[in-house]
Structure 1
Amino acid sequence: MKKFFALLLSLLLLTGALGAGFAWWAQQPILEQGAPIEFTIKPGSSLPAAMQQIQSAGVPVQAAMLGLLARLSDKGGRIKAGTYELKPGTTPAGLLNQLVRGEFAQESLVIIEGWTFRQMREAIAAHPALKHDTRELSDAALLQKLEIDYKLAEGLFFPDTYLFAKGASDMQIYRQAHAALMRRLGEQWDKRAKDLPYKSPYQALIMASIVEKETGQRSERAEIAGVFVNRLRLGMLLQTDPTVIYGMGEKYQGKIYKRDLETDTPYNTYTRAGLPPSPIALPGAESLAAALAPAKTESLYFVARGDGSSKFSSTLDEHNRAVNKYQRNQP
């Protein structure tokens, strides 16, 4: 009997030691240092298959041990398929938490303020980490697939940095960017200044896109919006070069000439009154804010000084003098 209890005690001690050792192992870093290791768990994988895929990708962990930990912690059936990164310092327990929460490897895509929708599409189509479900779609077909009730896509997507899991559909970027634009536009519209000459949020979006293309100076955006709002109120032509350039399309080769200003297109604000029929670019947050809260100004004109800033004028004579000084180098 004494031998039996001694054997039982030895087994209990051994089990305890093994359990303590296993618990200690689960909290030790798998990778001490170096670059993150990327791995993918395929959809429909069993727990043993998932563990083997992790080990085969170069993650220095025993598949059997990690699988046992998953079973003991009741996480074996909750692991999500996808692409992950093992970063230095991650423990086996931490890795399992990543797999259960679906903390996929993050990629990013930057959409620049002032880009056209065409430039946005090119950037999305060129990103190697996206699944390209929309590459062959026309703009109209893309809008239909996104269930966006506008005829033209220009300006309907917010420029920002978007994070996504590697292998995500490019539809995700379009959906996020459109939702962000509509949310921000709605917020600015709700708190807009009184008596603005816009019939709808879409017209405000058109103005924001013009402001975006007219200046890179944050401090001048509200003032420039104020100039264009004043012109709209007075029935003056907007006469803004960026709309003419947009209307030229591929004919624009870096310079704009007098004949271009005189050639009528739907976007030529030298020949047509009011706002153009659509935005001309993707406006950022500051341009949206400027369009809906323009500066209260008497200015009706502005001209580039050549240093990135503008000279604002309230009369045509004053403006002509500024043009002579800053554009024609005349005293």
Structure 2
Amino acid sequence: MAKTKTARRKASAKGKRRKLSARGITIIAALALVFLTIAVAIGWKQYDYRFGTAIVREGTVQVRTGTSFDELSRMLADSGYLKTPRKWDSYARSNGLDSVRAGNYTLREGMAYRTALTRFFYGRETPVRLTFNNIRTMDRLAGVVSRYIEADSAAILRTLNDESVIGETGLTKATFPSLFIPNTYEVYWTMTPREFVTRMQKEHDRFWNEERRAKAEKLNLTPEQISTIASIVIEETKFSGEMTQVAGVYINRLRAGIPLQADPTVKFALGDPSIRRVLNRHLAYDSPYNTYRYAGLPPGPICVPPVSALDATLAYAEEDRKHDYYYFCAKADFSGRHAFARTLPEHNRNAAAYAKELNRRGIR
């Protein structure tokens, strides 16, 4: 009887243990499911953050200095870049990427959240291609450059007129335009006006390599003087085949001590490049840039000459390009080309033919 009771107690305890084990397994399974669900949710969120699409269209975004992350987010959302603005903000804040640096940023369709957010956070800018050519004045240069960088034209012009900035280049205010070599340059949108001048100094020094400097020395001219002559040449002719001839005329006159008598310098002095016919009243204007009144080169370039004009001027150092012309004037056929002359009587005949055609066309 006692054995039977003992057996029943053992059986009861064993049953309870089985029930407890089953309950424990259920609890553990439930907890495991919860943890698995959390892990999957976290994993999916991280996967979505790293690989999920954040940007839904191509484009370039320029973020100005002082822009907050919230302002950037609104701009991206309003411009239709963000697939899910709520996720964009959530991922940024949860990963400590809710700040932004100024810059020019290229966004690609399908770009992931992490890729786009870190681009703005670390300031991984896309360079811009800054191009300038056909520049007559520093205010014109400032206006062109302002299209490519954050600074406005007024700030750029202040820097270009700053005597301390000009002094650091070793140039004067008059020769400062020779610093700028027209070309296309890769720069960052956040480049400051002063950094622009520093970059142009490097490009100027790179342009004036040993070969070009040797040609300038052969002509007994400095790079700044070459730039000044080239600036007159490009205002006289746009035909590349004539540029070296025109440059040679002015170099020949310099060597002979003959005033340059270059019409473009008179127009520059008067501040009116639109003058079609230079008259005696124009020639009487008193300015160091008036090469009819003052012998030698003007104080500095009258524009920012292109590379073609600079190299054409330097080409006069080559023996096979030398000539003995001292005069030239526009051809009477209005082709834009020029008639060159060795003597004054020959030049006067060419000039008279051109003046006659001007009169016939009523150009005063």
Normalised by the length of structure 1, the TM-score is 0.74
Whether 2:82 is the aligned partner of 1:54: answer no
Q: CA deviation at 1:270?
A: 2.3
1:218 is matched with 240
Do 2:233 and 2:243's aligned partners in 1 also have CA atoms closer than 8 Å?
A: yes
Give 1:29's match in structure 2, choosing from 23, 30, 53: 53
Residues 135 and 317 of structure 1: is their aligned pair in 2 closer, same or farther, counting only changes over 3 Å?
closer
CA deviation string 1:90-127 (max 9, x = no partner): 32232134225523476776543341234334656899
**CA separation of 1:222 and 1:266: change in aligned 2, threshold 3 A:** same
Task: Tell me the equivalent position of 1:173.
Answer: 196
Paired with 1:16 and 1:224, the residues of 2 have a C-alpha distance of: 78
Separation in structure 2 between the aligned mates of residue 24 and residue 155 of structure 1, nearest angstrom = 53
Cα separation, partners in 2 of 1:128 and 1:277, compared to 1, 3 Å: closer
CA–CA distance in 2 between the matches of 1:105 and 1:194?
41
Unaligned residue ranges in structure 2 (runs of 5+)? 1-23, 359-364
Partner of 2:257: 235
Map of 2:356 onto structure 1? 328
Question: What is residue 290 of structure 1 aligned with on the other side?
Answer: 312
**Secondary structure class of the residue paired with 2:173:** coil
Contact 1:114 1:213 survives alignment (8 Å): no
CA–CA distance in structure 2, aligned partners of residues 236 and 117 of structure 1: 30
Q: What's 1:19 paired with? A: 43
Offset from partner CA, 1:248-295 (integer Å, 9 cap, x none): 347986652123324553222223322122222211212221222223
Report the counterpart of residue 99 of structure 1 in structure 2. Answer: 120
The answer as to whether partners of 2:103 and 2:123 remain within 8 angstroms in 1 is no
Scaled by the length of structure 2, what TM-score is found? Answer: 0.69
What's the secondary structure of 1:302's corresponding residue?
strand
Shift of 1:173: 3.4
1:229 shift after superposition: 1.8
Q: State the secondary structure of the residue aligned to 1:228.
A: helix
Match of 1:271 among 280, 293, 305: 293
| 1:112 paired to 2:133 | yes
- Residue number in structure 1 paired with 2:213: 190
8 Å CA contact 2:244, 2:313 repeated in 1: yes
Output the amino acid matched with 2:55: L
Q: In the alignment, does 2:87 pair up with 1:66?
A: no
Choose the corresponding residue for 1:307, options 335, 338, 348: 335
CA contact (8 A) 1:162 1:173 kept: no
Structure 1 counterpart of 2:303: 281
Question: Aligned-pair RMSD on alpha carbons?
Answer: 3.9
Following superposition, the deviation at residue 12 of structure 1 comes to 4.5
Q: Distance in 2 between matches of 1:128 and 1:193?
A: 34
In structure 1, list runs of 5 or more residues that go unmatched.
none
SS of alignment partner, residue 340 of structure 2: strand
- Decide whether aligned partners of structure 1 residues 124 and 29 sit closer, same or farther in structure 2, where only a CA change above 3 A counts: same
Query: In the comparison of the two structures, how many residue pairs are matched?
Result: 315
3-state SS in 1 of match to 2:117: helix
Alignment check: 8 A CA contact 2:269 2:290 kept: yes
Question: Given that residues 178 and 224 in structure 2 are in contact (C-alpha distance below 8 angstroms), is that contact kept between their aligned partners in structure 1?
Answer: no
Q: Counterpart in 1 of 2:177?
A: 155
CA distance in 2, matches of 1:172, 1:263: 38
Q: Which amino acid aligns with 2:215?
A: R
Counterpart residue identity of residue 245, structure 2:
E
Q: Which has the higher helix share?
A: 2
Find the residue that maps to 1:57 and give its secondary structure. Answer: helix
Higher relative contact order (CA 8 A, sep 6+): 1
Q: 1:292 to 1:41 in 2, by over 3 A?
A: closer
How far 1:241 sits from its partner (Å)?
Answer: 0.8
Q: Secondary structure at the match of 2:357?
A: coil
Question: Match of 1:81, as an amino acid?
Answer: R
* 1:185–1:201 CA contact under 8 A, matched in 2: yes
- Matched residue type, 2:107: K
Secondary structure, counterpart of 1:31 in structure 2: coil
